[in-house]
Structure 1
Amino acid sequence: MAGNTVDNTALLAELQAIVGASGVLQGADMAAYEEGARYGQGHARLVVRPASVEQVQAVVQLCAAQRIPLLPQGANTGMVGASTPDMSGTQIVLNLSRLRATCEVDAANRSVVVDAGVTLQELNEKLEPHGLWFPIDLGANPSIGGMIATNTGGTRLIRYGDVRANLMAVQAVLMDPPGEVVELGRALRKNNTGVDWKQLLVGGSGAGAIITQATIQVHARPTQRATALVVPASDEAVMELLQAMERDLGDWLAAFEGISGNAMQAAIDHVPNLRNPFAPEDAPDFAILIELEANAATKYSNLDLQEALNGFLEDQFESTIVNAALGNAQELWHLRHSISEGARALGKPIAFDVSVPRSRIMEFCRQGRALVARDYPFLTVVDFGHIADGGVHFNVIWRKDAAELYDAAVVQRLRDAIYTMVVQDFGGSYSAEHGVGPHNIAYYRQFTPVLLQQWADGWRERLDPQHLCGTVDLGVAK
């Protein structure tokens, strides 16, 4: 490995003097930090785990002085390889999981100041006694810094927005001047005093600066929920149902998740303790997981969300829906969150995290499935996603029992075909939630206008003139 040829003796001592002996990893201890959750496998020179912003500053100053590239890394749950070192063995992984001392809740302001290494689950545990939560609902447990760097969305985006919409302020350590700490924004919902600089660090996958702390808007925990899994009467009925829900129940609509029959069956067949909610009938070809949420105390309101949802579904029977399962909410969400595990059990996933205008999402799914069936009949589509915001995880599985052996060239042709369809035919995005990262950089170059790539060049040159921070350069390819 390239990393093994570098003499780290002096550097190791300097880094240990900053973060302590236990804060620097080398050799086999780095393995968990060198492999991505789905894509990305590299070699790090060292892994450094600072526990304070002062330590981050000192590490950045040291590395900038010696022109050593840094890769910021949170919980390493990303899906596009942006938190994975490259194969050169020259990068230091700057893992922020120990940066977790601060989690200060201001319940009256409905905000929290939180260090970048705190995870989503830990944050919500801290918020629970205050009756609050950060409702970005994911199948993983990322760090807050990583969520900002990738602008995470999730299943409740339609009600609460993405991370960008809930971000009030960011603290970051700059690469130029090396180690300088900047505070971008305040714990304010109204601050119209110029450019919102913190947004330059949202979605950049850690390039240019290292996010060390954030101030986030949080929300009151719902006091009521109502959940149902419904079968639409047709593809066309999906949008009719969503529009009717937004018209009649829009104040409470929190999730509207599409699940294909293949996705549902994969989870049921391969994840323990799951059952078909429609049994004894077979799993339907397509279903929609609906959830309503409300903050309405029964002592002041006659609102009963489950009664409201049941009444709405009764009115929609035959016109937009033909079946419904009103089971336990936890059980229905467990089914939804188990799809990825079920898909992996079928074979090797070829994952597409895409979005199109939601009015065309069912049309895209039809055309995407038709393309796979026509040109790649040995592959299986296992699709699901966030119908209400136009996002879909259009996963294609190279099944374990396929007669054809896995072929990277075939996968590349499939990716090119699907992404071209998404962007050119449907005006969509090849990366709805997961960001760019090394895995998607070729499509960024292909589909992003050159002018915008040049703007990204200028941004990167100003923040990180030596290009030392991050794995992805979003400027024009040199």
Structure 2
Amino acid sequence: MKPVSAERALSRITALLGAEACLVKQDARAPYEHGPRYGAGTALCVARPADVASAAELMRLCAADRISLVPQGANTGLVAAASPDNSGLQVILSMERLKGVIDIDPVDGVIQAWAGTRLSELNQALEPHGLCFPIDLGADPSVGGMLAANTGGARLIRYGDVRHNTLGLQALLMEPAGELLDLNNRLRKNNTGPDWKQLFIGSAGSYGIVTQAVLQTHPLPQQTATALIVPNSLPVGLQLLQDAERRFGDFLSAFEGMSRNAMESVLHHLPQVIAPFNPLPPYALLIELSSSAPASAHCNLEHLFMPWLERHLEQGNILDAVVDKPESLWRIRHAISDSIKQEGKIVAFDIAVARSHLPAFRTAAIELVERDFAGAVVCDFGHWGDGGLHFNLVIPPTHAQQFLPARIDALRTAIYDLVVRDYRGSFSAEHGIGPFNQHYYDRYLSTQKQALAARLQPAFDPYYLLGNTRFS
């Protein structure tokens, strides 16, 4: 069967959804066609259904006419999975109007929400109940987007990723087209066969479009203790991480790393931020303890934290430390991404290795850049608690002509080869798979895994009409 013409497809979609829910003009489509970092194409239109029934009808129409759909939440992803290609024939299916909290159950500790609901809206609704959904990010993604990418964040060491905090979901299928698969439940224990909801988490909308989810919540922290420390060395930093886990247990909620170059960029572009150290060290670690129990004589995190810091200062494991209000120290960490963008072109790597390999990998990666790609400036930060590293490189304007697309591609491949082949790590730790990094999925995933995907993806989407990510 041949796809219908663009004009007929547009006419049918507009008739189905109404003109207000089908954005056709270029200026109206533009915010949906461009991703925040990568991904820029041209869509036939942007479909914005107001309910699940309309979204299901749209999927049936697209399946019948072989029209490709690109699911999109808040459009905050960083691998172009929610961006259309350049054909002008794909329809962006925006879930932004399917939003709102359906239910909060403080007894079960869950929130049920539509896919278009933003992370900030979840937490605003949960706060009066003393609860939160503790995925800590620089962006404000939607529920559907967080599931599609299996979002992690800075506090994964304590709370896990989105997969770990999803109890149930509903999804619209492309086969049979428009059928609603109900996998919603609030059970923490349910061992009755395969956990089918996991197929829709971290798969970029390729198996179906999530319409709502039941998410596990956590009590809001009532007290925190935060310090920015200078480790004697990066291997010593790992020893401090192990000791902190032994000493503080579940109180340890973040263990983040920041390089000197990253901190310098923040101080340069945000002069109101006070330098934590003078001079800045080569590397610093941000450690956070938190508890949902209020501070008391029997449970005071600052009283627990200070002796630990003092002991390691005396032993020389920590060379310097700043204890301050959490928001002051976290401001430095959260400002890194926006600050380094102002330094030049960013070549970003969202990677992960085993925690035990972090110091050796970082040293090897910096040596590789200095040897083979001189002029690129390493401005990295990372989640030491879970092995994640945002190994970001800045290409200053003065070196732009030395880093044309072919050389940047060579740089990416060199770093990813180091991650995957030398350190058995991941080339996409948090951001998922999309057109931006599809090439590396094809390069590094084993033939066995790709063969399994080749059998699975067509079962859910036989004509490959959902999105631009291909797992086979």
Q: CA deviation at 1:272?
A: 4.8
Identify the residue that residue 252 of structure 1 maps to in structure 2: 251
Q: Specify which of 305, 325, 328 is matched with residue 301 of structure 2.
A: 305
Deviation digits for residues 146-188 of structure 1 (CA, Å, limit 9, x no counterpart):
0000000000000000000010001000001110001124111
Q: Partners in 2 of 1:309 and 1:244 — Cα distance? A: 12
Name the counterpart of 1:455: 452
CA apart distance, 1:144: 0.7
Q: Say which of 18, 21, 46 aligns to 2:19.
A: 21
8 Å CA contact 2:101, 2:111 repeated in 1: no
Amino acid at match of 1:303: C
The equivalent of 1:422 in structure 2 is 419
Counterpart position of 2:291: 294
Q: How many residue pairs end up in the alignment? A: 467
Q: Aligned runs of 1:43-442 on 2, under 5 Å?
A: 43-278=42-277, 281-298=278-295, 302-317=298-313, 318-402=315-399, 404-442=401-439
Distance 1:185-1:98 versus aligned 2 partners, 3 A rule:
closer
Shift of 1:385: 0.7
What SS does structure 1 have at the residue aligned with 2:187?
A: coil
CA separation in 1, counterparts of 2:5 and 2:327? 51
Aligned-partner Cα distance in 2 for 1:302–1:316: 23
CA displacement at 1:254 relative to structure 2: 0.2
Query: TM-score normalized by structure 2?
Result: 0.97
Q: Deviations over 1:40-85 (max 9, x none)?
A: 1111011001111111101101111111000000111111111110
Residue segments in structure 2 that go unaligned for 5+ positions in a row: none
Aligned amino acid, residue 304 of structure 1: N
Q: Secondary structure at 1:192's aligned position in 2? A: coil
Distance 1:104 1:11 in 2: 37
Tell me by how many angstroms 1:310 deviates. Answer: 1.2
Q: Secondary structure of 1:457's match?
A: helix
Contact 2:101 2:122 in 1 (8 A): no
Cα distance in 1, alignment partners of residues 181 and 401 from structure 2: 54
Partner of 2:380: helix, strand, or coil?
A: strand
Give the drift of 1:298.
Answer: 4.1
Equivalent residues of 1:173, 1:181 under 8 A apart:
yes
Indicate the SS of the match to 1:215: strand
Q: What is the alpha-carbon distance in structure 2 between the residues aligned to residue 322 and residue 100 of structure 1? A: 49
Q: Which amino acid aligns with 1:306?
A: E
Q: Which deviates further from its counterpart, 345-354 or 179-188?
A: 179-188
CA contact (8 A) 1:152 1:163 kept: yes
8 Å CA contact 1:185, 1:196 repeated in 2: no
Cα deviation digits, residues 207-253 of structure 1 (max 9, x gap) = 12111100000100011111110000112111110011001012200
Partner amino acid, structure 2, of 1:398: I
Query: In the superposition, relative to structure 1, how do residues 6 and 201 fare at CA in structure 2: closer, same or farther (>3 Å)?
Result: same
Contact 2:10/2:44 (CA < 8 Å) preserved in 1? no
Contact 1:260 1:383 in 2 (8 A): yes
Partner Cα separation in structure 1 for residue 435 and residue 295 of structure 2: 51
- SS at 1:402 equivalent: helix
RMSD: 1.4
Query: What residue identity is the alignment partner of 1:264?
Result: M
CA contact (8 A) 2:262 2:381 kept: yes
The verdict on how the C-alpha distance between 1:101 and 1:51 changes in structure 2, with shifts beyond 3 A counting, is: farther
Letter aligned with residue 186 of structure 1: N
Shift of 1:6: 6.0
Q: Which amino acid aligns with 1:22?
A: E
Q: 1:381-437: per-residue Cα shift (whole Å, max 9, x none)?
A: 011010110000000111123274441111011111100000111110001000111
Q: Secondary structure at the match of 1:129?
A: helix
Structure 1 letter corresponding to 2:168: A
Q: Does the 8 A contact of 1:255 with 1:388 survive in 2?
A: yes
Cα shift readout 1:244-293 (whole Å, capped 9, x = no counterpart) = 10010122000000000011111111135222112xx1211100011001
CA contact (8 A) 1:185 1:197 kept: no
Paired AA for residue 233 in structure 2:
S
Mapped partners of 1:458, 1:109: distance in 2 = 37
2:6–2:44: 8 Å Cα contact kept in structure 1? no
Segment of structure 1 superposing worse, 323-332 or 97-106: 97-106
TM-score, length basis structure 1:
0.95
Quote the Cα distance in structure 2 between the aligned partners of 1:319 and 1:426.
Answer: 29
What code does the residue aligned with 1:21 have?
A
